[in-house]
Amino acid sequence: MMMTKEEIILAFDAIWFEANNSANLAGEDLQKEHDLIIKFINEHFEFVEEYKSCRQELDGYYELLYPDPYKFEELEDGMWVWDDEWKQLRELMDAQDFEEGRFFPITKANQ
């Protein structure tokens, strides 16, 4: 299970606090190192969120470019479909001609 940003920062701060207290360390350089690590954690999670957002957008494009075939109940007479058997766009005259995996949204024609 992946830790949240807040959990990581809390754990880091606790470790940092214990290390500084036990070694009696102090100073501006230590604070800069602490702030740098916190900045790194924040940037990491910003990157993760940006990746998730891009991935969702790409998944949407994938579904558009590679659509699933229609199910029988989705078909209506007169609707335009990509007929994968005939390899062309056509108007569906009789939905009873249904064959599994044959009729797709017209975006399939872009492949």
Q: Which two tokens stand for residue 14?
A: 């606790």
Residue 1 has pLDDT above 90, yes or no: no
Residue 107 has pLDDT above 70, yes or no: yes
pLDDT digits (tens, 9 = 90+) for 9-57: 888 888 878 777 766 655 666 777 788 888 989 999 999 999 999 999 9
pLDDT digits (tens, 9 = 90+) for 55-80: 999 988 888 888 999 999 999 999 99
pTM of the entire structure? 0.51
Separation CA 2–CA 18 (nearest Å):
24
Q: Which residue has the higher pLDDT, 56 or 111?
A: 56
pLDDT at 31: 77
Separation CA 3–CA 45 (nearest Å):
11
Beta bridge partners of 90: 81
Segment (H or E) for 22:
helix 5-23
Burial level of 70, CB count in 10 A (0-12/13-18/19+)? Answer: buried
